[in-house]
Structure formats: C-alpha cells, structure tokens
C-alpha cells in the first residue's frame, strides 16, 4: 500500500507553491483534483495518470484516491491554497476513517488565499482575525450569520472566502449589513481577485462602497477592524507598536 499526500498547491502562481508540494506532486503516480487546479500544475504532471473531476465531487475524489493507494499507487490529491482550509484534507481523513483503511495520509500545507490576498493589500491581518466562508452549501446560513455577528462584535478583522457566486448573491449583502451594525461605514475593505496568479486584481474600498466593485468566487474579501487604516493605498491593521 502506498500513501496519499493531500497537497496544497498555494494560490496559483508557481512561485508560491512550496518545494514540498512540488516534490510530492512530482513523486506521485496518480494526481487527483478539481480540473481548474490540475490545469494550474499541468507542467508538473506530464507523465502521470491524471483524474480530474468537476466541483462538488469531493467525496468521490477521496474514494478514488483510496482505491488507487490501496492498489499500490502513490497518490497526490491536490487542493488550492491550503488543503486544511476549506480544502480536501478533512474529507480525505473522514473517508479513510469511514472505510477503516490503513492507507497513510499526509497533509502538505500551502499558502492560503487569505495570506496571499493580505500580502497584496499590505498588512490587514496584523491583529486577530476570523476567516468565514459565505458558502451555505454545507453550512446553514443561520450559523454563518451568527459567526459574522460575533466576529464583528469581537472586532476581529474578517476575511470572507466564497463571498459570492452566480447563484448566490445575497449573502455578501447580508454580511455587509451585519458588519455595519458594529463598524463604521468608512472601515477599510480589501477585495483581491486571483491573488498571486495571472490576472490578479486588487481594490481598496470601504464597507460603504464595497458592493460597487466586482466580487465573485475568485475573490477574497478582507474587512478591517476598528483600528485598520489605509496609507498610500495599503491597508494596515496596527499591531500596537509605539512608533
Ligand atoms: N483551500 C483554499 C480555499 C478554498 S475555498 C485556500 O486555502 O485558499 C475557495 C475560495 O477561496 C474562493 O471562493 C475564494 O474566496 C478563495 N480563493 C482561493 N484562491 C484564491 C485566489 N488565488 N485569490 C483570491 N481568492 C482565492
């Protein structure tokens, strides 16, 4: 039996993929992943068996990975960013447990979207922050709203993953409403689309005006805390140093 590596490939640009992730991909026999991510690493996988699949087939991908590994193949299951952050690591470990499989599973971390986006914007995450996904496919919207409320009340910098898709447009509007109960209209907001990959685009705006800019599933939204400010186009959340 060989092992499965659940590999975080980072945000997209190869310069932001770790050497450990690259090595894990190169030394695998079978690569499994969502098509968009396979395309991002296609140059690394010329001589391997590749199984790409569409979105929402996560459990199927995990079962396939176990099938291949149990037959003796070294398998890389690829995830964008970090596989332990809304990625494939959890599902893979759960499926292994459910099947009571002896296959070893290793998780290789990656640069997650929020740290890639923060670097583009300046330094918005310098104090305590909360990461919240607005996708209600697997989580009840009531739970998401409660977390938004409590993170806003706690004055956490808030980063939103999966902020808006073609079929899911009202959540970001509701999230903004919740935040406006606790934060000033002028609170800095950063929107980064395609952070650290081709076609990267960043906007520095405010809670008041954020919805006037494009937001989609390739975007991370970062909302400052009550001390966050903008200087020379960069968002800064002070850590508290005396300058
Ligand atoms: N495991 C991934 C997150 C998957 S959830 C990670 O650690 O980054 C998918 C969401 O992540 C997208 O809807 C978007 O909000 C965000 N995302 C992923 N890659 C991104 C990138 N390069 N730029 C901006 N947002 C990104």
Domain CATH number, residue 227: 3.30.950.10
Structural domain includes residue 243: no
How remote is the CA of residue 91 from the centroid of ligand 1, in Å?
17
Q: Are residues 23 and 86 in the same domain?
A: yes
Q: What is the mean pLDDT of the chain?
A: 95
Q: pTM for this one? A: 0.96
pLDDT digits (tens, 9 = 90+) for 68-96: 999 999 999 999 999 999 999 999 999 99
Q: Which of 13, 16, 39, 220 should be mutated for ligand 1, with most atoms under 8 A from CB? A: 220
pLDDT digits (tens, 9 = 90+) for 121-153: 999 999 999 999 999 999 999 999 999 999 999
**Can you give the residue range of the structural domain that contains 90?**
4-108
Q: Are residues 117 and 99 in the same domain?
A: no
Q: 225: buried, middle or exposed (CB in 10 Å: 19+, 13-18, 0-12)?
A: buried
Structural domain includes residue 242: no
Give the SS3 label for residue 4.
strand
For residue 240, give every residue at least 6 positions away whose Cβ sits within 8 Å of its Cβ, in sequence order, or none: 127
pLDDT of residue 222: 99
Q: Is residue 117 within 6 Å of ligand 1 at its C-beta?
A: yes
Q: Is residue 162 within 6 Å of ligand 1 at its C-beta?
A: yes
For residue 50, give every residue at least 6 positions away whose Cβ sits within 8 Å of its Cβ, in sequence order, or none: 30, 31, 32, 38
Where among 108, 126, 156 does a domain terminate? 108
Structure letter (DSSP) for residue 216: -
Q: Are residues 90 and 139 in the same domain?
A: no
How remote is the CA of residue 142 from the centroid of ligand 1, in Å?
22
Q: Are residues 55 and 122 in the same domain?
A: no
Q: Is residue 87 within 6 Å of ligand 1 at its C-beta?
A: yes
Structural domain includes residue 33: yes
Q: Are residues 193 and 210 in the same domain?
A: yes
Q: Are residues 135 and 191 in the same domain?
A: yes
How remote is the CA of residue 101 from the centroid of ligand 1, in Å?
30
Overall domain count for the chain: 2
Q: Are residues 232 and 141 in the same domain?
A: yes
């Amino acid at each position: 039996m060989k092992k499965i590596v659940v590999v975080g490939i980072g945000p997209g640009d190869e310069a932001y993929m770790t050497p450990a992730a690259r090595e894990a991909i190169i030394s695998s026999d079978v690569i499994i992943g969502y098509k968009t991510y396979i395309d991002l690493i296609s140059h690394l996988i010329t001589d391997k068996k590749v199984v790409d699949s569409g979105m929402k087939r996560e459990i199927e991908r995990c079962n396939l990975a176990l099938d291949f590994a149990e037959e003796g193949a070294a398998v890389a299951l690829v995830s964008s960013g970090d596989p332990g952050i809304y990625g494939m690591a959890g599902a893979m470990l759960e499926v292994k447990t459910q099947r009571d499989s002896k296959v070893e599973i290793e998780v290789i971390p990656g640069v997650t979207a929020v740290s890639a986006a923060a670097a583009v914007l300046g330094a918005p995450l310098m104090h305590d922050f909360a990461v919240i996904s607005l996708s209600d496919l697997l989580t009840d919207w009531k739970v998401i709203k409660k977390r938004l409320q409590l993170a806003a009340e706690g004055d956490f910098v808030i980063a939103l993953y999966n902020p808006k898709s073609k079929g899911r447009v009202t959540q970001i509007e509701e999230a903004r409403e919740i935040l406006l109960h606790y934060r000033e209209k002028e609170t800095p907001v950063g929107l980064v689309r395609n952070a650290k990959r081709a076609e990267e685009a960043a906007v520095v705006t405010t809670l008041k005006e954020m919805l006037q800019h494009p937001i989609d599933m390739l975007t991370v939204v970062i909302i400052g805390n009550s001390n966050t400010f903008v200087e020379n186009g960069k968002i800064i959340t002070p850590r508290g140093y005396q300058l």
